[in-house]
Structure 1
Amino acid sequence: MPSLNFKLPLVLTLLHLNCSVQATCVLNELPKYQPQQQVSGTIRNYGFGLGGVLKKWEEQFRHYHPDIHFQDTLPSSDTAFPALVTGQTDLAPDGGEPAITEILSFFEVYGYHALDITVASGTYDVDGKSPGIVVYVHRDNPLSRLTIAQLDGIFGAERNGSLRGFKWSLNDKRSDEENIRTWGQLGLSGEWADKAIQTYGHAPSGTSRFFQLKVLKNSDKWNQNLREYVETGSKMISDDDLAQEGGLQHMLSKELANNKYGMAWSIAPQAKKISGIKALALAAKEGGPYIAPSKASFQDRSYPLVRNLYIYLNRKPGTAIEPKLKEFLRYVLSREGQQEVTVNGSYLPLPPTTVCEQLEKLE
């Protein structure tokens, strides 16, 4: 068979063009921004600058509303909820889901939950841009797909309930009989049938909190053989050689790539250029559809483990959102606002259905 290597640049170019075309099509389906009313005053933002996107939104919004001014304090997502709870901000941009202490503290102060508006999708393979979760196995593993429930069985453990916000619920309990600990339980036979699944994942972080929320029903009961790692090149890891053994790239290249009985959940940026592993398609429910991770499936959000970027605000149920805040959020969710999301490939714009869901929250 002739080598296909010469076709690779063309294939990659076509894939890039296809994703670019798809993003353009998505943007063209979104409503253009039309001000409902002219607004003025100051909007305070405290939290995460969304990789520079927030500043772009502000700059463009002022073309429509020149009497609006912004007061920004943007050190990190970790400051968003504290500022919202203490009344130091109007909007709290955040790169992820709040911790239970953040949810609870807001509720204890105000007696209701903060309103969350999803303003963009996390990236597929751009480092530091809220990439979604991808599940990897050794390249020789015959497995090609999993459901989210199976992931729960593999990486989680018996639980008598789950956490919904800060409420403990008994509806999502499961017994240890639903634990999946061998490859045979996933349908593999022969030499695989009785071999234990060695699990790998992230140490405590925003990414692991997202995995717990979406896969483990917000439980913190893990498979006891889970081996934890931090993002290579991040602030969570030191520069010395020994510390690199605690990094995800070391795990993926030196451990998973040499352990055909292993399975890891991680993020695509950490798996770049690592040979010997492959990604699995995932399904949100039994019977599928099973969706392979890609920029396209993250873009249309058909892949079940895409992350969100949020802007939180304090809105008492039954009351109207302050006009200047509503207008700004309407701009963020417009065609023009979502176009800014794509600048420099930072994040992914929302598909029309998600935009409609978020706009409904503003009414």
Structure 2
Amino acid sequence: MDKTARHAATGVLIVIVSAAASATTEPLPAYEPEQAVAGTIRNFGFGLGGVLKAWEVGFQTYHPQIHFDDHLPTSDAAIPALVTGVTDLAPDGGEATLTESLSFFEVYGYPVTDITVASGAFDVEGKSNGPVVFVHKDNPLASLSLKQLDGIFGAERTGGMHGFQWTPSQGRDAEKNIRTWGQLGLTGEWADKPIQTYGHAPSGTTRFFQWKVLGNGDKWNPNYREYVESGSKMIAPEDRVEQRLGLQFMMKDELANDRYGIAWTVMPQASGVVGIKPIALSDGDGGPAVVPSRQSFENRSYPLVRSIYIFLNRKPGTALDPKLREFLRYVLSREGQQAVLHNGSYLPLPADVAAAQRKKLD
């Protein structure tokens, strides 16, 4: 059972997801072929840390006449390969970018089809980790809603992106900006203190945060300070020794020493840092806030879990190629999701999410 607790300072109901409540692959239906298929399936994009190969091997035990032609340099090659017609499936560790969505639509006249095939990791480094929000350990705040996060990290905007279309419905005015801790209900010394914001520089994780939190806009709190993955090639050579531009520096040397700071990052970049604490998050204004954990990421109750995708080109109203449909049915079956679990890079899908994705194959 999940545990619930009401934080004394804020009165917010917080859900702590227990291990017993974690999603498993058992409720998923076992794979049963609907028809025998043969031929070659072309994959172009990302190998998903070995998960794609495991799916291929498992699928071939049911369909030995299927062969795979794989070109797996990077996620950045996935949708471009669909656009140019050199692949059947495009495995990708993240969401489609604006240019990817737009270029596909301009070529074919309809959107690219996305199938969610796994969840991003909680604490396995570099595996499409979902963002986690942290504050200084002395901060009495226990939870936030995504709307409040928008107020803290974002700024007024006239609209936001939905796919490649700019929509005014995603806009908001300056009255919804949250710039002091008192606006979040904190009192005493905290009430008038400005909120100092920290987070990632441009990246796939940042695009996800903008999509889920900022209405897919790109206007940030003017005091937002950006950092990149510690130890990565994204840090300029002159700064690699001190790593001042890295996320671990942000957490250890900035947030841990800033009582009035708040930062979002991924769990591996915050691992082992003392002086900070994670914040529970809720989807809306009135719902329970969920503590980030492997279990809440696995059952997707935490609102900032990322998805792993296989993209494909499917014209609306047309049937999916039988061999592609059978392969994706296998991926979304008990056996396919057990392969995700055994690999350990990503997290398997809950039964309800897998079922919704299977419906997209019909």
Q: TM-score range by the shorter chain?
A: over 0.9
Q: Comparing both structures, which one devotes a greater share of its residues to helix?
A: 1
Residue identity in the other structure for 2:277: K
Alignment deviations for residues 189-218 of structure 1 (CA, whole Å, 9 cap, x no partner): 111111110100000000000000000010
For residues 265 and 177 of structure 1, do their structure 2 counterparts lie closer, same or farther at Cα, with a shift above 3 Å needed? same
> Unmatched 5+ residue regions in structure 2?
1-17
For 1:332 and 1:238, the matched residues in 2 are separated by 40
- Offset, 1:343: 2.1
Q: Are 1:126 and 2:132 an aligned pair?
A: no
Q: Are 1:139 and 2:137 an aligned pair?
A: yes
8 A Cα contact 2:45 2:77, kept in partner: yes
Alignment deviations for residues 139-181 of structure 1 (CA, whole Å, 9 cap, x no partner): 0000010000000000000011111001111112211010001
For residue 315 of structure 1, what is the aligned residue in structure 2?
A: 314
Q: Are 1:58 and 2:51 an aligned pair?
A: no
TM-score (norm 2): 0.93
8 A Cα contact 2:50 2:343, kept in partner: no
For residue 14 of structure 1, what is the aligned residue in structure 2?
A: none
What are the equivalent positions in structure 2 for 1:36-47 lying under 5 Å apart? 36-47=34-45
Q: Are 1:209 and 2:171 an aligned pair?
A: no
For residue 103 of structure 2, what is the aligned residue in structure 1?
A: 105
For residue 12 of structure 2, what is the aligned residue in structure 1?
A: none
For residues 72 and 22 of structure 1, do their structure 2 counterparts lie closer, same or farther at Cα, with a shift above 3 Å needed? farther
Residue identity in the other structure for 1:303: Y
> Unmatched 5+ residue regions in structure 1?
1-17
- Offset, 1:232: 1.1
For residue 234 of structure 2, what is the aligned residue in structure 1?
A: 236
For residue 3 of structure 2, what is the aligned residue in structure 1?
A: none
Secondary structure of the 1:64 match is coil
- Offset, 1:233: 2.8
8 A Cα contact 1:238 1:244, kept in partner: no
Report how many aligned residue pairs link the two structures: 344
Secondary structure of the 1:129 match is coil
For 1:108 and 1:168, the matched residues in 2 are separated by 16
Secondary structure of the 2:289 match is coil
Using the TM superposition, name which of 255-264 and 165-174 deviates more. 165-174
Secondary structure of the 1:31 match is coil
- Offset, 1:272: 0.5
8 A Cα contact 1:31 1:334, kept in partner: yes
Secondary structure of the 1:225 match is coil
Residue identity in the other structure for 1:326: R
8 A Cα contact 1:84 1:313, kept in partner: yes
For 1:335 and 1:156, the matched residues in 2 are separated by 40
Percent of aligned positions that are identical: 65
Secondary structure of the 1:171 match is helix
For 1:76 and 1:243, the matched residues in 2 are separated by 29
Residue identity in the other structure for 1:331: Y
For 2:158 and 2:340, the matched residues in 1 are separated by 41
For residues 362 and 344 of structure 1, do their structure 2 counterparts lie closer, same or farther at Cα, with a shift above 3 Å needed? closer
What are the equivalent positions in structure 2 for 1:48-87 lying under 5 Å apart? 48-87=46-85
8 A Cα contact 1:237 1:243, kept in partner: no
Q: Are 1:264 and 2:252 an aligned pair?
A: no
8 A Cα contact 2:157 2:172, kept in partner: yes
For residue 249 of structure 1, what is the aligned residue in structure 2?
A: 248
Using the TM superposition, name which of 239-248 and 174-183 deviates more. 239-248
Residue identity in the other structure for 1:341: V
- Offset, 1:238: 5.5
For residue 356 of structure 1, what is the aligned residue in structure 2?
A: 355
For 2:194 and 2:180, the matched residues in 1 are separated by 4
- Offset, 1:241: 4.6
8 A Cα contact 2:38 2:65, kept in partner: yes
For residue 341 of structure 1, what is the aligned residue in structure 2?
A: 340
For 1:22 and 1:153, the matched residues in 2 are separated by 32
- Offset, 1:231: 1.0
For 2:87 and 2:74, the matched residues in 1 are separated by 14
